[in-house]
Amino acid sequence: MIGVRAFVWLIILRAFALVALAASAALYVDYASPVPTFCSSSSGCAQVRYSGYGFVWSWLPVPLVGLLGLGSLLIVALLPKGRLREWLLVPGSLLGALAGIGFILLQVKIGSYCWLCNVVDSSAIGAAVCAVMHRRAERAGGGSVASREPLEVWSWAVLGALAVMAPLVWPRVAPESPVPAPIRELYVPGKINVVEFSDFECPFCRVLHRRMKKLLAEYPGQVHVVRLHVPLASHAYARTAARTAVCAEQQGNREPMADALFEADDLSAAADRELAEAAGLDMQLYDRCIVDPATDARIDRQVQLFANAGLQGLPTCFIGGRSIVGLQPDSVFRQALARAASHEDEGGIPGWLYLCLVGAAAGAALLLGKQRTRRAKGEPVPAA
């Protein structure tokens, strides 16, 4: 029984390592990409990432360190029974557990909690407990653990590779997030559709506006742009500027006025009126529009659309079948525009199918590894 217990602790340790590897790979995907895949941009994962503790020396992502460390731990756990494994397994796993405890305490200090981080950290702690118990069981009763191995080493290695590669590959094959129906209704067939939620006083929205003008100029006559207003309560003149934009749009002066508002240093009501006059608007119509309750009602509907879609953070853009939150690099917007222009934004593998494929690969590794182990022991192998 002692030998069996030693074997069980080792198997559980390897399972913990596989779970931690998968979670670390998912974290690395979100750290390496400007648009998160597994956690939203407003989640605890993102807050931990940008807390200052998400990188070592400001350039090395902590998840990458975790991948290297946990991969090394799995390799050690797959070594044949002997002094090398005995020397490395417990110290290595205890080092990982200390790192896990440290990162859990850091989350407490930050006040934000990343579920993927907690999976990695708790798995590292669990692996350390298994390593200690495995050594105690081996020393207490001896016994050949190798004789009870359920899988060959290559099978464990395949499972480890799947744990890492499945999260890394998923962003490349995943379908784009579906566009909410009320936003999709604003699209024009045959065009590159861009729906932008913004606030004229938001500094990130201002920067994005200048950058998007250059990017959209690469598709003359092909783009349909809808600008929706989400004036934040924290911005004193955001709603005033939004009213000016709505009233200018009613007079067919949407884009020139939007350019002026995004560039203006002063967005007070008086300054906005000067911009409208300089743009050549009919000022009598403008003045009536500014005080018309229908203008505020239109802005309120756009704010409600933003909230109903579950969106968070400005600016938020929908380009074709893709949503982009925040001031992302130009490459992100350029890629989305190219996909929308070529009508490639509806492709991808459904999540359930991808999980089935990964599960089938893991099942094949388990089945084939187990059959070959039985052959090596001279045990009968069931027919396929």
pLDDT digits (tens, 9 = 90+) for 245-270: 999 999 999 999 999 999 999 999 99
In this structure, are strands 192-198 and 60-61 parallel, antiparallel, or unpaired?
unpaired
pLDDT digits (tens, 9 = 90+) for 56-75: 888 899 999 999 999 999 99
Distance CA 202, CA 121 (A): 37
Distance CA 229, CA 304 (A): 10
pLDDT at 2: 43
With 70 as the cut, is the pLDDT of residue 359 above it? yes
With 60 as the cut, is the pLDDT of residue 184 above it? yes
**pTM of the entire predicted model:** 0.66
Indicate if the alpha-carbon torsion angle 364, 369, 375, 378 is positive or negative: negative
Confidence label for 143 from pLDDT (cuts 50, 70 and 90): very low
Structure tokens at 333: 């917007």
Indicate if the alpha-carbon torsion angle 258, 263, 264, 268 is positive or negative: positive
Indicate if the alpha-carbon torsion angle 176, 177, 180, 183 is positive or negative: negative
Distance of CA 33 to the CA centre of its chain: 7
90 φ, ψ (degrees, to nearest 5)? -70, -50
Q: Which residue segments constitute the domains of the chain, with CATH numbers given?
A: 2-175+351-377 (1.20.1440), 181-341 (3.40.30.10)
pLDDT digits (tens, 9 = 90+) for 295-336: 999 999 999 999 988 887 899 999 998 889 888 889 999 999
Which has more confidence, 18 or 310? 18
Please give the mean pLDDT across all residues of the chain.
Answer: 89
Cβ atoms of residues 116 and 26 within 8 Å? yes
Confidence label for 145 from pLDDT (cuts 50, 70 and 90): very low
